[in-house]
Structure 1
Amino acid sequence: HWHGETFEIPAGASHEFYSEACTNQCFIYNGRVVGLQFHVEVTEGLLDAIISNGEDELVPGEYVQIREKLLEGAVHIKRNNELMFSILDELDKL
């Protein structure tokens, strides 16, 4: 589950989100395709399940967060879900 792999932005797509750890986090192509490499759909229960399922892979590294740091990120769940529904609402208008 952890994002050890990434993707190339398609030619002609707009590069929307990035970070030092992940250059290609979001793109929009032709106003109709959205590519994401982050999880706006996560709920608190899903976050717990994702961590529990992949906890053996949380080895120390430059961009690897430990369980406690991942759980601290739960404060962003509501805003991420709002972003997800905003994206879906815009796509529904197409």
Structure 2
Amino acid sequence: MSAQPIHPHAEPDRVPRNAEGIAAALEGERRMEFYRELLAAAPEDAEGVLRRWWCEAMLDTDPSGGRFTEAALNGTLPTKSVAAAIARRQAAGLPVE
């Protein structure tokens, strides 16, 4: 038996999960920072560097990103309490450790 995602992705990732794709999604100084960090990483740490920067690149290329940033800065971003999040997970039968 294998684990399958609850909500499978219908579209491919906006940013390919490799150094070339990540670098292409980043701009200017952020791209250079990514390359510096990747080149300075020990081989066993390179995967973690790629994973972190892929997340950064996905956020940078999110079409809704500007709207969320603006709402957060204006104080209008919807939030929920930790208690509400825990209750939702419990109702769904998910762990809350």
Do Structure 1 and Structure 2 share a fold, with TM-score over 0.5? no
Larger radius of gyration: 2
Instruction: Give the number of the structure whose residues are more often helix, by fraction.
Output: 2
